[in-house]
Amino acid sequence: MDIGLTGFVDLGSMWSGDVPFGTDSGLQASAGLGLRIGLPSGAKDVIRIDLAIPVNGPTAFSSPTFRITAYEMLGFLRGFEDEEMKRSRRVGNGLKLIPNSSSFF
């Protein structure tokens, strides 16, 4: 199996525009850590385990978000892929957690 660690920072803002109950959020930020697990080694399907915490605003350093993702749609938007994304694109449908036993021999 392959295991990796990642760190990330997210920044964003929301504007009310012409929505009746919209509000301007101001710049919001969060930071987090993640674990990536590939089964078997070299697999294109990766299980992601992430923990993110807001670092500003009314909930700063409280109310963390924990997320486990076992399937993603890579390359959903055409024109934004690079060579690594083309190499990693999933082929077929559904989640494949157990490989075909014939691939071990």
Which residues of the chain, if any, have pLDDT below 50? 75, 93, 104-105
User: Would residue 105 count as lying in a domain?
Assistant: no
Q: How many CB atoms lie within 10 A of CB 27?
A: 10
**Cβ–Cβ < 8 Å for 78, 58:** no
Residue 64 corresponds to which tokens in the numbers above? 């963390």
User: Would residue 15 count as lying in a domain?
Assistant: yes
User: Would residue 21 count as lying in a domain?
Assistant: yes
Q: Which domain holds residue 43?
A: 2-95
User: Would residue 63 count as lying in a domain?
Assistant: yes
In this prediction, residue 5 carries a pLDDT of 94
- What sections of 1-103 are H helices per DSSP? 83-88
User: Would residue 35 count as lying in a domain?
Assistant: yes
Domain count, the chain: 1
Q: pTM, whole model, 2 decimals?
A: 0.57
User: Would residue 103 count as lying in a domain?
Assistant: no
In this prediction, residue 85 carries a pLDDT of 61
Supply φ then ψ for residue 78, to 5 degrees: -65, 145
User: Would residue 77 count as lying in a domain?
Assistant: yes
In this prediction, residue 91 carries a pLDDT of 57
Cα radius of gyration rounded to whole Å, the chain: 18
Distance between CA atoms of 43 and 88, rounded to whole angstroms?
9
User: Would residue 67 count as lying in a domain?
Assistant: yes
